[in-house]
Structure formats: C-alpha cells, structure tokens
Amino acid sequence: MKLTHQTPKVLAIAILFITGVSCSVVRNKHQEENYQLVFEDHFNGSTYNPAFWSSFESQKHSAPWNHYVVNDEQLAEVKNGYLHMRARWNSKTNLPETGAILTKNKFSFKYGKIEVRAKFSSAGQGGWPAIWLMPQNEVYPGWPHGGEIDIMERLNTDSFVHQVVHQTNGETKHVSTGATPSIKTEDYNTYSVVKLPNRIEFYVNDQLTMVHHPHDEFEEKWPFETDYYIILNHACADKGTSGVNFWPGSVTSTKNFPYEMAVDYVKVWKIKE
C-alpha cells in the first residue's frame, strides 16, 4: 500500500534472502518458543470487536488504497467465525465501495510476530486486498519517511502475493523492496511477519520469503524501531474515470462483485522478556 497522508505502521526495506522450506519452517516454529500471545481475534461475534478495531474513515486527500473506503458494516462483516472484508460495486454511482478496519490507537506492537490466516473468496480485475502495518508513533514523520510493512497484498486474481517494505534513504528518495511468493488461490493461507530489532522477516504458510535489515541506502534512515498497528482492507480500482493510478489497473467488468477476503484469525505474539 502507498499511504500519502497518514502515520500508521511501517516495515523497512530489506535485503532479501530466499531459503529452503524445511529450514524456514524450523526457524519460524523455533522462534515461537520465545513468544507470548498478546493479541488474538477469531471473529466469533456478530460484528468486529470495537475494542480492537475501528473503521477507516474516508479523507479528503485520499490515497489510491482508501479512495473508495466506506464505513459500512457489510464491507467488514463478521459472520460464522470469519471477518469478510469486501469491495462492492455501486450501480448507481458506477463506482466501487470498499472496507477497511485498523487497530490504530487501540493495539500496536514494536517487536514480535503477527500471523493472519485468510482466503480470497471472490476476486477479479481491479481488486486489491491487503494486510499491513503502519507506525503508531513515527520515527520520521510522513509517508514514506515513517515506513510501511506490507504483510500481504494481492492484485486481481494473481496466484502470488506481494510482501513489500517502504521507506526513504537518508534524504528524500522513496525506496522499497519485496517478494512475490506463490499462494493457494482456492484455500486459506497464513501470512506472517516477525519484527525484531533491525530485522524484519516475512513468511507465507510458515515458509520464509524475505528478510529485511538496515543496509546500503536503507540504513541511514531506518524507521522501524517503533510500534506498529494493523490494517485489514479490500481496496478496489474504478473503471478509470477518476484518473487515479490504481496498482491493479482498472476494473473491466463488475460481474464478480463483491470481491471478498475472508479472515479466519489475527494473532500477535510479543517477544518474552
């Protein structure tokens, strides 16, 4: 996600390491021995828990991801033990309406592990669901100076997802890096980030996909040694009428709407003292 007007949680741009499946699974499981569960939501109620989550409110100067956010419970519906993040098409306005919830000012963490299990129940051209982190308390103010950690972004009906970090170099240059691991498109996948001092690890289905740490142009203005909050959303492009440059491209058909990401759970562990 590209956030141009807020100060949420961030993930720094990192050096990339690709490792074998067996080693990555062992490392991830081994680390869990040092964790203490501090946040857990299985969405067992009739609505999302207001003690944890708030709806993102539309803003006058919006970024592409939140350009069509609407505060409507149907776009972040809790039903049968799942959170259903949706993007629907409004036939009257001929524009999308999208859901977004976040834990800003309610829950954030500095170091630890976050894991989200989710499935794409319905998808199509222009869809852009995401699970990500932004800084609760920025080290450097403004995006992308404050950093951003994208645990998962999916475009359209891709068979892979994007895991990305954003920040700046020591000056004003926006720098980012990422991985594009494959997923099970018809089933649930788990998306994880382990956030450590000067190190951020990315996982999909317990397989290590990327490691990011301060290096080269990412070292001087490393913004990630602070606490981050969680954002779950299902962004969507329009048909090109707004002139906004949406990452997945424009919607070409409204046949498959509503698009939906079903979330089974969100868990966060902190590192034991």
Catalytic (active-site) positions: 148, 153
Compute CA 216 distance to the chain's CA centroid, rounded to the nearest angstrom: 25
The CA angle 247-163-65, to the nearest 5 degrees, is: 35
Q: Alpha-carbon distance 38 to 47, whole Å? A: 21
Q: Mark 192-225 as b/e (b = at least 16 C-beta within 10 Å).
A: bbbbbeebbbbbbbebbbbbbbbeeebeebbbbe
The CA angle 158-89-127, to the nearest 5 degrees, is: 15
DSSP state of 203: E
* Tokens, residue 94: 């001929």
Q: Please, is 92 exposed, middle or buried when counting C-beta atoms within 10 Å of its C-beta (0-12, 13-18, 19+)? A: exposed
DSSP state of 202: E
Residue 39 · residue 252 · CB < 8 Å? no
Which SS3 state, helix, strand or coil, does residue 27 take?
A: helix
Residue 145 · residue 221 · CB < 8 Å? yes
**Placement of tokens 């926006």 in the chain:** 174
- Locate the DSSP E strands across 146-188: 148-153, 162-168, 174-179
Instruction: Give which of 47, 119, 40 is closest to 78, Cα–Cα.
Output: 47
